[in-house]
Amino acid sequence: MADAGTPSPPTGAARTAMIVVLFASNLLASFTQSLMNIALDYVATDFHITLSQANWMVLAFTIVTATTITMAAKLLERIGLHKLMTIGYVFSFAGSMLGFFAWDYPAMIAARALQAVCTGLCFPLINEALLTIAPKGKAATLLTVNSGVIGVALAFAPPVTGLIITHVGLRPLFLIPAALALVLIIAGRPAIHNLYARRKAHIDIPSVLLSFVGLACFLYGLNEISHELFPPLVIMLVGIAILAIFVHRQLHIAEPLLNLAPLRYPVFTVGEVLVTFAFMASLYMSLLVPLYLEGAASYSPFIAGCMCIVPILCYACCCFPSGRLLRKHGVWPLVPAGFAVILIGYIGMYFSSAQLLIFALLASAAVAYAGLGAFFPAVKTVDLDSLPRKISSHGSSIHSTIVQIGSSISSALFVGIMSGDVIHLMAGGMSKADAYAFGFSHTLLIAIGILVVAIILAFVYTRLVNRQKGRAAAAQDDAGATGKSG
């Protein structure tokens, strides 16, 4: 049963304040998500575990984030934007404090899971809120700036986390998101307004469980399969089967947890596959490049984090002109060219890493990040704009879910393979540095193969977008002609 009416979006200074708080919320979400990217080698050493086991600091976060995203739209309908964002901040604060006081590795994993609830709420809700309150003609600009804000958080997370880990340790690192979450709990109270009518939306609990268990099983198998074939392969196949049941259920129940209607639109569907490839490329660089710098080149987490600033800032800087490039040139040649630039960067990383040419490696990573930043916000904007307004919120939820799935697949696949290589090679007598270098080169070859597929699909995507624009223009001309004849 809906409330009497839909709240009016804020205007003027109130709208500006809300936009600032929403940007800050995504800053918290993205910083928290990347909190462990520079820390995996340290975690593995400190807790005396393998890299693939340490990788659960990332995987547990993404599994909970993805599951939360699937519930975000329904929760928004039930309790409203203001209360839901506050709940997210509280979970972030609680998880961060648990991480600070964590007494063992399982407690640390639990802390990351609590933090993930905030990220799972922020990513889909903030996209939709920005589209709702944006001044006329400024929606694409706000989404582009939002991507840039996330890029800035990703750029400064590695040196900040590296500095703290190197000189203080892992646990104090959690005080940064705790402080930011506390500020947002206070600032969000007057700044965040409810934007949508509320109703008692049904949350399908079996779907929640299917989503969580299926993704967890799939990622566990993918993460561990390089260590041994069975049982990880069986668990991974079980996870795929459970996720298939989840999709089937969404298509056949009255109120699905994740409305898959946007996937009926080819532009959105193909675009979101490209989003998956893009985030796989992004997370590869966020996780594997620091592992190479720390394991193969023997840099401290702080130095490795500082080295990652410039490449990631290239992503953030290229996000800002992405919307302008889209308006001027369209998706052609922006999207295929963007993936081609990423591929060039990856090929450069492959050859420079084999020779331990660190600055050439970082320059190649910067090229890849620049290619990603130039087209990714544009794809996101085109995908959401291709949908009817009445289902755009569902598209935003699917987009945010796919981002997490792409990130988690990248983390499980590449870190899992590198972990397996390191264990096997070091058991055979190879040094840690050489084992890390070999594992990095191995995973790069796989990533390059994936990017080649992505470039081919990017050409298909541009044709679909241009065909849709052509149909829309023809329909507009027909409507104009009918109006004149009338």
How many Cα atoms sit within 13 Å of 110 on the Cβ side? 11
Residues 115 and 33: their CA atoms lie apart, in Å, by 8
How does the average pLDDT of the chain come out, rounded?
A: 88
Beta carbons of 392 and 337 less than 8 angstroms apart: no
Q: How confident is the model at residue 377 (pLDDT cuts 50, 70, 90)?
A: confident
Q: Mind listing the pLDDT tens digit for each residue in 267-281? A: 999 999 998 999 899
Model confidence at 481, in pLDDT bands (50, 70, 90)?
low
Element housing 12 (H / E): helix 12-33
Looking at residue 486, what is its pLDDT? 53
How much of the chain, in percent, has pLDDT values that exceed 70?
96
1 pLDDT above the threshold of 50:
no
Residue 465 has pLDDT above 50, yes or no: yes
* Mean pLDDT value across residues 199-206: 87
CA end-to-end span of the chain, whole Å?
A: 42
**How buried is residue 248: exposed, middle or buried, by Cβ count under 10 Å (0-12/13-18/19+)?**
exposed
- Would you state the pLDDT for residue 164? 94
Is residue 483 over pLDDT 70? no
Q: Note the CATH architecture for domain 12-192+257-480.
A: Up-down Bundle (1.20)
Give the residue extent of every domain in the chain: 12-192+257-480, 204-256
Asked if residue 79 has pLDDT above 50, the reply is yes
Q: Judge whether residue 204 has pLDDT over 50.
A: yes
| Weakest-pLDDT range from 78-87, 322-331, 381-390 | 322-331
* Structure token digits, residue 99: 């991480």
pLDDT band at 2 (very low <50, low <70, confident <90, very high): very low
Statement: residue 137 has pLDDT above 80: no
* pLDDT at res. 485: 55
Of 378, 377, 444, which Cα lies nearest the Cα of 147?
Answer: 377
CB 38 within 8 A of CB 161: yes
Q: Tell me, what's the pLDDT at 8?
A: 78
The 10s digit of each residue's pLDDT in 33-72 is 988 988 899 999 889 998 889 999 999 999 999 899 888 8
Burial call 75-99: b when 16+ CB within 10 Å, e when fewer: bbbbebbbebbbebbbbbbbbbbbb
Which residues are CB-neighbours of 24 under 8 A, at least 6 positions away? 180, 183, 184, 187
Helix axes 322-329, 331-354, angle to 10 degrees: 130
Residue 4 has pLDDT above 50, yes or no: no
pLDDT at 220: 92
Q: Judge contact between 280 and 409, C-beta under 8 A.
A: yes
Pick the residue with more confidence: 5 or 192?
192
* Strand, coil or helix: 318: helix
